[in-house]
Chain A
Amino acid sequence: MSTQAGSYYLPTPSHWPIIGSVGLFTTLFGFASALPGTPDGPVGNLGVMYVGLAIIAFMLFGWFGQVIGESESGKYNAQVDTSFRMGMVWFIFSEVMFFAAFFGALFYARQLSVPWLGGAGNNAMTNSLLWKGYAGTWPTNGPGAVGGKFEHMAAFGIPLWNTIILLTSGLTVTWAHWGLKKENRGQLIMGLFLTVALGGLFVSLQAYEYMHAYHEMGLKLTSGIYGTTFFMLTGFHGLHVTIGAIMLLVMLIRSTKGHFTAKNHFAFEAAAWYWHFVDVVWLGLFIFVYWLV
C-alpha cells in the first residue's frame, strides 16, 4: 500500500474530459429532443444525437489512445496499475447495481404486484372491484391485457444455446489470459478471437430471437409487465455484451500490435473481468427470465 515516493504518474491537464462532457450532453439532448414523450408517438430526428455519439467516440479514441501511449511508454508503476484495477472493479460493481434495479423490478412484479392484482395478500378488493376475473399468474401482460395476446419465451431453445455460448466464451477468454501470461501470443490472439466471435454469435442469436418474438409470438416491449421485464433485462444485457465484445476487440487489435506483457496487461484483464460480469448476469437472466416461468 505504500507510495513509492514521487513515482506516481500524474497526468498533465487534459482536454478530453470536457470533450466527453460536450459529447454526452449533445447525445442526450439530441435524444431527449427526438423522443415523443408519449408511448404512441413517433421518434423524431436523431441527427443531433449521432453528432454527440461521434464526439464521444472521438473522445474515447483520443483519451484511451493517450492512456495506451503512456502505458506502453512505461509511465505507469504498479501503484497506478492498482488504481486502475480498483477503478474497474468498482465500475463493474456499479453496473451490478444497475442490473439489480431491473432484477428488483422483475422480482417485485412476479412476487408482489401481479399476485396482488390477482387478489393475493391484503388485495382481495383490488381484484374484485377493479380487475375481476384476473388470475394474477406469471407470465402475464397484466389485467388490462396490455399489448394483446403473446407467447412467452421458452428456456430450452436459443436461450440454452446462448448460455452455452457465453459460458464457452468465458473459458476462451481465460485461455487467452493463460496465453498472455505464458507470453504465448498465438494463444492470446486465438483466444481473444474466439471470444469476440462467440460474443458476436450470441448477439446475433439474440437479435434473431427478438425478431421471432416480434413477428411470430406477439411478444413485444409493450406486452405488459412480462414483455417489459423480458426486453429491458435481456436488452440491457445484450447492450453490455456488445460493449464487452468491442472492448475485447480492441484488446485483440492491441494484441496483434504487440501490446501487453506477461506482467503488464491491465487493460486486457479489465475487459476480461467485464466479460465475466456479463456472463454472470446472463446466468441470472437465464434462470429468472427464461427458466423459472
Chain B
Amino acid sequence: MSEHHDKPTGIKRWLFTTNHKDIGTLYLWFAFTMFLIGGAMAMVIRAELLKPGMQVVDPLFFNTMTTMHGLIMVFGAVMPAMVGFANWLVPMMIGAPDMALPRMNNWSFWILPFAATMLVSTLFMEGGGPAFGWTFYAPLSTTFAPKSTDFFIFAVHLLGFSSIMGAINIIATILNMRAPGMTLMKMPLFVWTWLITAFLLIAVMPVLAGAVTMMLTDRNFGTSFFNAAGGGDPVLFQHVFWFFGHPEVYIMILPAFGIVSQIIPTFARKQLFGYASMVYATAAIAFLSFIVWAHHMFTVGMPVAGELYFTYATVMIAVPTAVKVFNWTATMWKGSMTFETPMLWAVAFVFLFTIGGFTGLMLGVAPADFQYHDTYFVVAHFHYVLVTGAVFAIIAGVYYWLPKWTGHMYDEKLGKLHFWLSAISVNVLFFPQHFLGLAGMPRRIPDYAIQFSEFNFMSSIGGFAFGLSQLLFLYIVIKCIRGGEKATAQVWDNPEGLEWTIPSPAPYHTFETAPEVK
C-alpha cells in the first residue's frame, strides 16, 4: 500500500488528486470564489436599486445580473461548498480511508470550473448572458432568448453531471465504507443529512437535465414541448423545473441542518436532543420535497384541486422542520453553553432560518401567495433561508472545522467581529424586503415606484455592508491557514465524532486501518 503515499506537488497535486481532503479543499475554494463573483453581481443589483431611476446598468443587463447571481450562488457557491464539507468530513466521520470512488471524485470536482467557465462566457457573447431568471421559464428562455442560451444549457448539463457523480460517490462511501461498529444510527447527523441529500441529488438533477434538454430541442430542432400551437404548454416547463427546483432548495439546506446539528451539541456540552427523530425528520422533509413543487406555480392557473393539494402538502413541511428547530432548542436547554464563533453563527442560523421558514409557511398558503408571488416578499423569504440559513451554516462549519483542516486556531476576535457585522447587516439587507413585497414591489425589476425608495435604500446599504464583511472572512481564513495558535486534536471541549480523534491538521491519509467504533 505504499503507492498512494506519494503526494505530488505543485499544480499536478491539485489537478490529478484522488485525495478526499484535497478535493474537499478544491470544492471549498471554488465555492468561495463563486460566492465572491455572485456577490459582486448582487452588489450591482443593489447599486441599481439604491435609488429610483436607472443609473448604473441597462434593464437587460440588470436581468442578466439577477439571473447569473441566482445561478452562481445556487450552483456555484452553496452546492459546491456543501460537497466540499462532505468530502472533507464524511470519510473522517465514518472512519473510512477515503471516498469510495476517488478518481471519480476528482472528476466531479474538475467538471465544475469548466461548467462555470461555460456559464460565465455567455456574458461576453452577442446578445449577452442569460437574462430570464435562474428559473429560466419557457418561452422567454426558448423562443425569445439569444444564442448564448445554448451555452447556458450545456453548462447546466455539466453541473448536473458533476452533482450526480458527486452524490453517487457520497452514497457509496456512506453505505460501504463505514468503520466496523459504525452502524447507520450511530453516524453523525451531518453524515445522515448528506446521505439523504445525495439521494435527492440523484433523483432530481437528471430531471433538470431533462428540462434543459427539452429547451434545447425546442430552441434548435422545432419540438413543441413548450409551445401551445403544437399541443405543448409553457407551464409544462415549470412543472419539470420545479420538480427539480423544490428538492433543490432542500439540497441546499439539509447539509446545513447537519452542520448545525454537529456544532450546537459541542458548545452546549450536551448530547444532541432527539437524534433518531432528527434522522426521521430529515427523511420526511426529503420525501415531502418531492410532492410540493407546484407551490411555486400557484398563479399559473392550475385546477383548484391542484392548488388545494399543493397548499396542504406544502404546509406539512413545517411539521418535520419544527421537530428540527425544537430539537436544537432542547439541545441548548440546560446545556452549559459558550459562544465561540461557530456557535454564534449556529445560533443565528436557528433564529434566522426559522424566520425564513415562517415566511415560507405564509407563502405556502395559496390564496395569500396570489398576493406574495413574484414580489420582494419571496426574495426576503429565500434569502433568509439561503443566506442566513445555508450560508450562515457554511460559515459556522468553516470556523468549526478550520482548526482541524489547517492545524491552527482562527483569530477568535476577528471571527466574532465578522459575525456581528454580518448578522446585523444581513438583517438590514433583507428584513425591509418583506415590507417592500407586501407593499407591492415586484421582484426582478431594475427600477421602482417612488413609494419603495426608503426600504430599497436601506436594503442596499445593508447589502454593501454585508458584502464588505465577507472580505473580512476571506482575510480570517487566509490568516488561519498561514499560521496561528496550534490547534489540539480535540480543538473544542470534548466534541463528539471520529474527526476529533485524529491530529490537527488532519494527516493527508486517515484511517487506513479502520478505527473500532463501540
Contacts and interface: CB of A to CB of B under 8 A. Distances in A.
Interface string B427-452: 00000000000000000000000000
Question: Main secondary structure on chain B at its contact with chain A?
Answer: helix
B205 A14 contact: no
A228 B18 contact: no
B106 A140 contact: no
Interface string B173-186: 10111111000000
B103 A79 contact: no
Interface string A4-45: 011010111111111011101100110110011111110100
A122 interface: yes
Interface in B74-101: 95-98, 100-101
Nearest to A66: B103
Contact of B150 (A35, A97, A225): A35
B111 interface: yes
Nearest to A88: B168
Given A3-B96, A140-B231, A228-B230, A13 B18 contact: yes
Q: Give the one of B16, B146, B157, B220 with max A CB within 10 A.
A: B220
A104 interface: yes
Interface stretch (A107-115, A175-183, A193-201, A248-256): A107-115
B293 to A, nearest CB: 11
Interface in B107-161: 107, 110-111, 113-114, 117-118, 146-147, 149-151, 153-154, 157-158, 161
B207 A13 contact: no
Nearest to A225: B231
Given A28-B118, A86-B100, A90-B202, A5 B513 contact: yes
Interface residues of A, number: 79
Interface in A123-172: 130-131, 140-144, 146-147
Contacts of A221: 217, 221-223
Contact of A228 (B171, B219, B224, B301): B224
B371 interface: no
A172 to B, nearest CB: 29
Contacts of A82: 176
Nearest to A116: B233
A10 B229 contact: no
Contact of A105 (B106, B111, B236): B236
B216 to A, nearest CB: 8
A226 B235 CA distance: 17
B172 A87 contact: yes
A37 B127 CA distance: 12
A147 B224 CA distance: 10
B23 to A, nearest CB: 10
Given A24-B114, A87-B168, A11 B176 contact: no
A28 B157 contact: yes
Nearest to A1: B178
A12 B4 contact: yes
Interface in A187-228: 221-222, 224-228
Give the contact-size bracket for chain B.
35 or more
B100 A83 contact: yes
A224 B107 contact: no
B336 to A, nearest CB: 36
A90 B177 contact: no
B209 A98 contact: yes
Contacts of A224: 224, 229-232
A3 B179 contact: yes
Contacts of B169: 87
Contacts, number: 262
Contacts of B147: 37
B512 interface: yes
Contacts of B104: 17, 87
A225 B232 contact: yes
A37 B149 contact: yes
Nearest to A34: B150
Given A113-B232, A141-B230, A11 B18 contact: yes
B50 interface: no
A108 to B, nearest CB: 5
A90 B236 contact: no
A72 interface: no
B104 to A, nearest CB: 7
B514 A5 contact: yes
B204 interface: yes
Given A10-B97, A13-B18, A142 B172 contact: no
Q: Give the one of A97, A98, A147 with max B CB within 10 A.
A: A97
B41 interface: no
A63 B103 contact: yes
A97 B229 contact: no
Nearest to A16: B103
Contacts of A122: 301, 303-304
Contacts of B211: 101
B359 interface: no
A288 interface: no
Contacts of A11: 4, 18, 102-103
Contacts of B117: 25
Nearest to B171: A90
Given A10-B102, A87-B100, A21 B207 contact: no
Contacts of A272: none
Given A87-B168, A143-B229, A14 B204 contact: no
Nearest to A140: B231
Contact of B176 (A83, A113, A140, A141): A83
Contacts of B97: 3, 6, 8, 10
Nearest to B183: A1
A102 B221 contact: no
A233 to B, nearest CB: 11
A222 to B, nearest CB: 4
A68 to B, nearest CB: 14
8 contacts: A3-B179, A15-B16, A25-B158, A79-B176, A113-B231, A114-B231, A117-B228, A143-B229
Instruction: Return the 3 tightest CB-CB contacts between A and B, nearest first.
Output: A101-B210, A144-B229, A142-B231
